[in-house]
Each structure stands twice: as structure tokens, then as C-alpha cells.
Structure 1
Amino acid sequence: MNKLFFNQSLTGLTAFAVALLGSSSPVVSAAIPVGGGSSMMLVGGGDLDKTAPSNFGQSQKIAQIGQRGELYILGPGDRVQVDIFNVPEYSGGNGQHRVLADGTLNLPLLPGPIFVQGLTLQQAARQISEQYRPFLTNPIVTLSLLEPRPINIAVAGEVNRPGSYSLTPVGLGNTGGGGAIQVPTLTRALQAAGGVTQSADIRNVQIRSATGAGGSFDLSRLSQQAALGEDIPVRDGDSIFVPPLTSLTPQQASQLAITSFSGDQTRPVNITVVGEVNRPGPYIVTRVDQTGGVLTVSRAIQTAGGLTGAADVQNVKVQRLTQTGIAQTINLNLLGLVRGTDLSQDVVLAPGDTIVVPTVARLDLDQAAEIANTSLAGDPTRPLNIAITGEVNRPGSYTVQRIDDKGGQLGLITVTRALQTAGGITQSADIRRIQVRRPTRQNTEQVINVDLWQLLQAGDLKQDIILGQNDTIVVPTSTNVNTAELAQLAVTSFAGDSTRPLNIAITGEVNRPGSYTMQRLDDEGGQLGVVTVTRALQTAGGITQTADIRRIQVRRPTREGTEQIIDVNLWQLLQAGDLNQDVILDQNDTIVVPTAEIVDLTETAQIGAANFSPAIIRVNVVGEVTKPGVVEVPPNTSLNQALLAAGGLNQLRAKTQEVELIRLNPNGTISRRTLELDFSQELNENNNPSLRPNDVIVVGRSRIAALSDTLSTVFSPVTNILGVFRVLQLFGF
């Protein structure tokens, strides 16, 4: 791009040297004081313009915008210094004049005013010299600008306050012409108009003079490369137009915001934040915070309460309307900002910007965890409103606090922490298919699948996702029960209160069927451990001898209103030590112990020794035994063993061939069996069966004992009378 340089300078001595060389034309010079205290001299006269050295810097830009190298066009209000060589009465203090409202100068000796409006200093100096020729010999005129008049310009396009402005040069020259005057430049004109907007195309700022000549200038070179040649002086009547960018990158937006001509950094900004933020809406935000930071996208998101868990941080948009009505969109990837790899994504905002945070189509759990631990995630102390349904002990809605009573932060709310708040999962929970349902700002629902089994087995922490405001956790019911997994679930941190009493029911072949409240703490507060099937059977008095321990069932109600059935094989526990069969029970479980269709007597001893069998059973042995009465024996004790426990048969009176077994059945009926007695027999159901609690063994009398008892009963009165006679005989009657 062409450059305009205003480095043309020539001292007054140069003009004198020209005169001494015998130039036939009048010599004139023009000087304007500029910043730094030096005068900018423009010399004219004769053919000097044609022979001027190249450092006068006439460039293509000058050709486009007019002879801007001459720097200044005179007009009403300018104060100038006229010096005529060797004519002191018309020079110095006597040579200071102001251009009148009609654009003329009234100079001594001349018959009338000289019209200088619209002329450059050089042109005006030449005209003054020509006017003095009739009165002076070869007049050498120097014209200097002492005090420029305010210049009127117009600024339009991408500036904060477009319109017309009057700019006054900074600093005033002295009577000697050496004072520093800073002529308004392009950037000063933009600052007067409130600075450029964030939509400005500063690479193509256009200036058009009052004569119609124009040019374009690249102020990005000024801000990035210190190319001062782009910041040209402006003239009276100039029109400046700042076009909008057709496309805007985050880098361009950030660079533009920190330039000196970008506007007032302290002015409050109206912005709008919509989409996946906690408090969407319009905001008035100061452009500079207390630490001196400018208003960026991240600060705006924080002002709006932070991002929700459904935010798509990789596709955030800043929508901007230019002063000319053109819509611009800046696409941002805030993930680069979060990771610290691309800070340019944190774009500086402009008045009227709208930040749009879209809803993510598919949540990346790793990214969600990254965002949740940043300042973009919102207030970490704000309570979280969530709902938990399905297989948890206390489903419902919860307000989860994120600070404790002393103001300390409790950390982020994750799925597992929320499950703990709801009393933990039930044993019917399918932790592989948990769902987090998240409402979006688009009135849709985002579903996030969570596999907590992966968390337990592989330590995959991303499965324990961080929750957002108004999330709902759904814990489904497991369709297939794996007893091995149930044992692991029961000891997890989200399995519920391990001290809470358990209400269960036990039916079938147990000695005391019914409902039970199983305590999980002892009297001193110590934990008793989890409640398993075997512990529950012990509480119910143990199994009976007819229990089928291979087909025990645990029936578990679910939150769906259905019943989950878990098959338990305690024989597998006894034989192979399969602890998975000793299922950990849950609230409101029912244990059903069925009756064995066939009792395998070879297994009775092993079953009777198990801890879920009763330690002793009580049977009654009556009749002709040594110690009749209640006998306490181990479970599955045989009939022969019970007789021996009662002291054995009374050999003088007992019927040794057979005994009678009376049994109260679970259905309320009574059965009576006569069994052949053979102490050499092993356990068998025919004549040496295993006994059950409350069985009654009746040992009858032998025939001789029965006859003796009958005779004794018949002759008992006679025996009594004879006894009376013997007593009377003793007293002498």
C-alpha cells in the first residue's frame, strides 16, 4: 500500500541560497511548525518545484489524495507570520496576521486584501510575493503558520460516534515560527469519534478530501509495525470512512480491542448472553474490571452464571452488528482457552455483542470434566437442584449444598455423591445403564449414559460425571441379576447407609418364619456387617430338616412395581465355598425356603452342621426310657440317637421291637408312624429317620410290663386293705 510522508523540509537559508544564485523569479518560502519543535518548510519560486530533491516524498498516495505533502490549506481563522527579507517593518512582530472570515489577509503597503483561502502556504507565499513586486525589489517572502484554525471533518462507518467534528491542533507556535504544533492525524480523528468499533476494517480506512481526492490507509501496520506513515494528518473538510470487516477472526478482534483508537475502555458495554449459561439475558458490564482486565467472552459467561453442563464450548459464537447494519459472526472454540493453548479465543467484546452458547449434540465426558473445573463453569458455591429416580432408597428431588456450615467448599456434585444423598442405590439397580437427563435451553433433553460398573472395575472417573443445574438421574432396574456383582455393589460408597436397619421377610422351611428387622449396628454402635441370606436364616431359627437349600429364592420388589427373583443355592456354598450364593439382602427382601421333594440322608449331617441350621432341636421322648422328657439334640439327629440321649430303653418294661413317632407337620396336621426299632441301623427314613423340632417319640411297654401294671391296678384295693389290717395288728387290736 502507498505511503504518504510529510518529511519535506527546507530551511530559510535554502531560499536565500536560491536567491543568491540569481534566480530571476521571486523567491518565496512557507513554513509550518510541527511536533518536535522543527518547522516544515516549503519553498517556491521560479522552477524550484521541478528541481526539488526526491526527499520531498511525492508518493502515489499523495497523488490520490492531493498534495497532502504540503500539509496545510489556509482558511479563515489561521494566524500566520509574514516575513519579508530585509524589510523588518513588515516582518517579525509586525508580520503576524489572521486570515479573515472572507478568506483574505490585510497586509501593509498593499492596496487591498489578498485572498488566501484554499491555498497552501507555498501558494499563498508566492501570491504575496507577487503582490509586493510593484512596491519592493525582488521580495523574498516567508510565510509561517503560527496558530492553525480548528478543522472540520466528518467520520462515518465503524466508529462508536459517527458524525462531524471540529479538531483543534495541539500546542501553538510562537512568533518566531519554532513552536511545536501537532496537526490532527487520522487516529486522533478516530478517537474524537469514540474510537473504532470491533467490526472495523482498519486495513482499509478511507479518506476523501474536500476536492474529491481520496486514498486508503492501513492502520493495522501502525498498531503492529509502528508504521507512522499510515497515521497521516487530516485536513479541513476531510471525510473519513471506516468500512466493516466482511469476516472477523478471534485474533483480529483481540488485536483491534487494545489499540489506542479503539474507544473508551471504561465505558459500560451492553451485551447479551444466550444459550447454555445458567442466567441467560442482557447485561450491562464495565469494559474494565477491578484488576484492569478487559471485557472478554469468558468474563461475560461468568457474569451470566457460567456454562451449563450441556454447553458446546467448541462452537460458541459472538454475533456482532456493525454500524453499517452488517451482521458479523466470530466462531470460538473455548476448549483451546480452557487448555491454555489458544488464548486468542477469549475475544474482547464490543457494545451490542451477543454471545451464543449452543447445546452440545453429544457430550464428551472428558471435556465436561475439564470445563467443570474452570471459572467458566459458574459459581462453585451455588446449591444444585437435582432429581433422582429409580433404584435408589430415597428417590425424589434434592437441593445439594456445595458449601458446608463453615463456608468451606464441598466440591463438585457428581453422580455418586448424588446417589449417596438419595440413600444409595438398591440391590436391584443396573449401574451399567444409569442415565443423566439434562434439560437444555432449547427445551430439549440431553441424555448422558453413565456406566458406574466401569468406574468400579477400571477406575474410569469420567463415568462419575459432574452434574449441572436441574439434572435428573435415572437408575434403572437390572433385568439380569448377577450374584457376584451384587456382593461388590453392596460395599460401594454409593450403596446406601450401611447402618440402617433392614426390614425383611422369611417364609417356608425355617423354624420361625415371619418378618424381621435386621439391625446392622450392635448395642455399642459397632457395625455388624451386611445382612446376607444365611444371617437372615439364623435369625429365623435356621432351616428345617426338610428345607431345599438348592432352590431358595430371594424375592426383591423394584421401583417399577415388579418383583426380581434371585435364585440361591446354599448347597453350592457348602460344597464349593461359593460366597456369591450368600446373597446380600436389601430393604423389603423376602426369602422363600422351599420344601425338599426328596431328602438325601447323606447330606443331612453336613446341612445340620451349617451355620444356617439351628444349633439344637428339641424333641420329646416319652414312655419306657430311663430319662423321659424333652431332649436337646443337634439337627438331623436320628431317632436312635434321641433314644440314647434319653438314657436308652428301660429294659425291664420297654417294648424293644418298635416305637411310635408323632410329628406336627407345617400344614397343621399330625402324622403318626410306628417304626421298627433296630439300633444297628444307620440313618434312614424307614426305621431310623432324622428328627425334627418338637417330634414326639413314644416308647411303649412290653407285654409283661403291661400285664404287671394291669394286675397291680386290679389288686391295688385289696393290697391296700391288707395293709390296714397289718397296721391294726401292730397296735394290739
Structure 2
Amino acid sequence: MKKIILRLIFILIFLGTFQIHAQDILQGKDLSSVKIDALSDSDIVKIKNQLQTNGTSIEQMEPVALSRGMSKVEYDKLKVRVNGISGNSGLIQTQSSIEEVERSQEPINTKKQKDSENELIFGSELFDNPTLDFAPDLKMATPVNYILGPGDELQISIYGVQEYNTTVLVSSEGKISIQFVGQISVSGMTIEAATQKIKSSISKIYSTVSSGQSQVSITLSKIRTIRITIVGGKQPGNYAVSSLATVYNALHLAGGPGKNGSYRNIELIRNNKVYKNIDIYRFLVKGDQSDNLGLKENDVIRIPTYSHRVIINGEVKRPGIFEMKKDESFLDLLNFASGFNDFAYTASVNIQQKTAKELKVTDINESEYGTYKPKAGDVFRVSRILDRFENRIKIDGAVFRPDTYSFSEGMRVSDLVTRAEGLKEDAYSKRARIIRLKSDLTSEIINVDLEAALSGDLNADIELKREDVVTVYSILDFKEEYKVTIDGEVKNPGVYKFYDNLTLNDLVVQVGGLTGSAAKRVEIARMIKSDEINNNDPRRVEVINLELTPENNEQVKNYILMPFDVINIRRVAVYEKPQLVEISGAVTYPGKYVLANKKETVYSIVIRAGGLTSIANIEGMKIKRPINKDQLSEIANTSVDSLKDDLVNKLKNEVKYATIPVNWEEILKDTNHYSNVTLFPGDKIEVSTFNEGVKVVGNVLLTSEIPYRKGKNFNYYLSAVGGVNSKGWKRKAYIIYPNGKAATIGSFLFFRSYPKVLPDSQIVVPEKPETTKMSTGEWVSIGSVITSLALLIVTAFR
């Protein structure tokens, strides 16, 4: 009871704060006649401010208002209007933003199958190209003619004085439900018509919408999926596609028409009737998308078989297989093939046709292109234009503009020369040549007196014909091309072109001048010309000797050269640049030394290097001499072909030097000893330091260096490394001494002699060559041969 009294007191206080207009409406105990739409916005603001002052919400006041007779609908309107006013400042919100709604669509999963079997059919590339896609753009504006249906979702926004946002789904009954507004039937209506209907219904509830203070925005937020059927495609069947999908989108999903499907008479069936006949060629040829209609639920796309297909190949821009309609001509086919290319013969087209029993060939002329109706199975062949000219004429040679020109009847030689801008200075005017193509395609030559033809003599000024080739000779063509040859001590010897009045100085300057080794002596060989044979003169050429100053390319005497002269600039008798050898190792002053005389020996270089040091191994002196190109060439020429390349490459890339052992002890006793060799440029003398070890390498159990022990023989060092392994060839073992000399194991009958071992030597055990054991069959064969020989011998001695 107390609660009811408190509520009544609160209502009296609450109603007492209204304006006079509001009090007139609510002061009675019966609130059933109150209309919230009649209240002004300022009345709503004061109600909200009073509720905030008393700490009461509009929801808490609902039981009291309903008990006084206010209807639920009216109270819901009051709640909407009170909640739509923001703040307690009494200001009305007049601006609002519309939420950006991203449209969505349920994913459609289809697998596209590429078909290369029909790739020559015009239009197949539209459906086989994976980069093409006719899927609708979900971000585009909703088409005004879009038909709503169950599954679509609408975003409804009210903005302005009042704000309201909601998302509603079109139910299976085709209706949407909006709070306070109720259910509205929209199925089958365009989005434009549905928008007007929804706005009209909302304006009945929201007074600010009807007054224009608030606006209503309706967008399609989610698109429904529809079911269609495709018959006759590469992948026929039922497809779930977007309600925004078009005919081309559906055909692309199905891979286009099947193997025998039509591209020009596709049927869109709606409500069991043919709604539209679709011709894809209109899109391919003209870009016309009038056939690309939007699809609806349960649409059927039927692709029938084609009726007429023809083939066009040859010199057209787009050869292939094309589908034709009965009323279309060859010109339409040519339009589908994008016309003739640049090399097509357009006067007529060859057609291969089918009859009931066999094939036949037909030609259509250019005048029939617009009237000839292609028949099913026709094969059109557009041939290439002939590689010939109907009005070509040519002039070449000593004219200013040799070229090909157009021919006209009555044209003469002088006319053509004039068109070529006249004769050049070197033109030979006594004779010109015309090569003429006769009617049987053979050629003939006609000579022309060019000087007379150009002077106005009509008999000489011959009338030209198509395909004539006129040649004007040059006097330079009759001159022999002369050369001179220069060799010897010049920077660029070779063969050079001869000019009139060419002097020896001119030629020397042309070849870059003389080298520093040039001598004064110059020899010129000149050919001898004579009309008579002189048997008493044994000379083949005339030899002329001159003298030049090597320090000066410009000589006082300019000697005139003649054609085919051969000039030789001789080298001075003595002209040698200092050349070096190198000595390294255990000498006092190692380094490079100049060969002071022509017979510089090992002994003299060692003495100039200060002699051997105390740690020098006199048994370990050798010379390394570079292997030059001439030696490699000689080896290549004398070696067996199979070994030649390997040997040359090894010497060139690995060995590089030939080793000459030096016996220093003998040289000290006698400088004329054969070991005291004469050195060549590039030689390297190596003097090793004393080393008391002996290296044992190759096919032994342990590659090692054994300390030298005086008196120990060859076998001692082999035993010291464990002996020879299974692959070692002891009989062919050898030793390399420090000076590069080598020695092998000798044998006589059953005795072997081993070389002496010195400090710093190297013992090498090579590998046995691989041998193939004889098989049992081979042994049996040998035994049979021996037995046969034995029988023959026994028989012979009986």
C-alpha cells in the first residue's frame, strides 16, 4: 500500500514539471487518450531532465503509466523518444552518421574445369581464361530494380533528430519486422519500392521522419543465395549463386557451352517459359551486354546444340571455328574473325564444302561477300597475296637516290633518272643496263647509251616496263683495288689500301710510326710489269733499298709508292732489352739478376749472389726452366692423339717448368762441367737448405719423413714406414734427389740394385696397374691350344 502511495506522489511531482500543454494531457487519472506524437521535442527534453533529477529511468516508470491507462504502444514511443535525446542540457541532437555497412554474401564454391578440346571455337576463351570473372561486385550500389526475397538482409538507419539502427532479415514469408513499426511485406518488390514502403511505415511511428527532421536510409547488407540450373554446359547441374549474379556469371561458373553447345542461341527459361535468347557474339564482337540479365530463383539456362558451324583460316586476324545463324553472310563471318590481315588476298575466298557424298571446292568473289550464306561445315581459306608488284620499277648504282619507284605507262630511262635526282659525279655515262623480265619470266639485258638518252635522243631513251631494273655504272667499279704491305719494325704491320701519290712517309705515319728497334735500312719489293718476257732477267721483283731516320717519322725524302709494294723495315743488328733470372734459397743475396752476357752460367750467378750459405745443401741445387709455347706445340704435334691433350694441359697448368739438376761439387772442381749450364731468361735457380730427413710417399702403409742415417739402404726406409701396401709396386719404386734428379731400382736376372739414399731425398712407391684375371674358359682355351701344339710336335717327330 505504501509503495502505491509513493508512486502516486512521484507521478504528481513528475507531472507537475511538465509544461501547460503536457499537464493538460496527463493531469487526469486516465492516460489512455495520451498521444506521444503530439508532444514537442522540448516536452520530451524536460521529461528526461526531470527523470535524471529524481534518479529515475523511463523503464522504472512503465508500470505506473500502464496502470493509469497508457497503452503499451504509446509508452514504447515515449521510451524511444526519451532515449533518443542525448545529454541533460536540453539540446536536441540534429546530426548523426550512418554506419558504413559492408555487404556480404554466402561463399559459393564451384570448381572450374579448363577445356582445351574446343579452344579454337570463337568465344571459348571467354570461359576458359581463369583471369576472367563475371562475379558481381558486392561493393557496388544496390541496383534500383533489385527484387527482394527471403534471405536478403536490410540495414535500416534513422538519423537526424532521432537515431535508430537495426538489421532485419526478409523472412521465408517475405516480411521484415521492425521494432515499434511491425511487420512489412517486401518480397517480390524492387529495393526502390520497398524503401518507399518502409519509410512510409516508419514515418507513422517516428514523427520526426514525417516532418523531415530525421532521415531514413535503407541498404542491402546481405545478399541471398538463389538456386539456378544450367543444362548443356561443360559442367551442367544446379548452382547456388548470388541473387546479384547474371547470365554470364552463371555460364562462366559452368565452363561455358559444352562440346557441341551453341554460343548464339542460349535460352534463359523463367517460370517455364523462354524469357530471353542470349547471343554471346553480341558481347564478344560489340561489347554489348544487353543479354547479361540478372538471375532469379529457379531460373534455368539451357544451352542447345549448335546448328551451323564453319571454319575460317589463313590470312585473317582471328582464324578459328565460328557459329553462324541462317540469315548471316560471309561479311558477318569476316567481322567475327576481325577482318583480313595485312597480307590477305581479298579478291576472292576459297571454300571447301561438304555434299551428301563427297567434298567440293567453291570460290566466292569479293562482290558476293555480302550475299553468300555460309553453310554448315564450310571451311573458308583466305590465301596470301602474291609476292609481286603491279607497278614496281627499280634503279640502282651511281645515282643520288637509288631505290624502288612506282611505274607508269610511257615512262622512259630519263624520267627514272630524274626521279632518282640525277647522276652522281662518278657515273659512267656511256652505258647503262636494263634487266627486263620477259613474259615467260626469263630475263634479258638491254644496254642504254645513257649520255644520249639524257640529251633527248628518243631512240636511246628507251621506254621502260614494269619490273625493269636499271643499273647506272660507276667508273670506280672498273678500277682494281690496289693494296700495299708493310712489315717489320712498325707498330701496326699489315696490308693497307693504296691511294694515288701515297708516299712511304704517309704509310709509316698511317701504321703508327716506327718502333724503337727500327734500323735505317728499308727494303721495298716492287712487282715488275712488262709486255715482253725477258729470259735474261732472272728477277721476280724489283728490290729497292732506302734509308730512313728511325728517330723521325717525317723524312726529308717522300718516296712515292706503287700498287702492291711490299715494304720491310729492318731491325737493328743489336737490340736486346735486359733480361732476368732468379735465384732463391740458401744463398747470401737471393733475388733477380740481369743476364750480363750471352753465356751467363749457374756458377757466375751464384757467385754474384754471394755464394752458398752454411746451411745450403750442395746436393739440392736445381734450375727450373719455363716451358714455352713452342715446346708445347712440338709435344702436341708428336704425341699420340689420345694422350696429347692430357699431356699438354698437365704441362701447361700443373708442371709449367722443366727441372735441370745441378752438380755443384763438380762445378766447383771444374767450371766447364756440363752441370754449369748457360742460363736463359726466366730461369729460376733454387738452392735448398740442408734437411736430414728422407720422405717416403705413395703406396706405403704410412706416409712419413724418416731421419737420414748414413749407410742405410733403400729397403731400410721402406721398412721404417711399414712397407708397401697391397696396391704398391715395389719393383717400380724410385727416388727423387734434392737437385731434381731421379733414380730407379735396377734388376739383373734375380738380383736387384737399389739407388743410394741421400738426405732430403724422396722415395716414391707407385701404384700397380690394374690387371684383368683370365677366366676359367680362357684357361681352358689356352690348354686346348697347348695340347694341340703338343700333338702336332709328337706327330711330326714320329
Q: TM-score normalized by structure 1? A: 0.24
Q: Which of 1 and 2 has higher RCO (CA within 8 Å, sep 6+)?
A: 1
TM-score by length of 2: 0.22
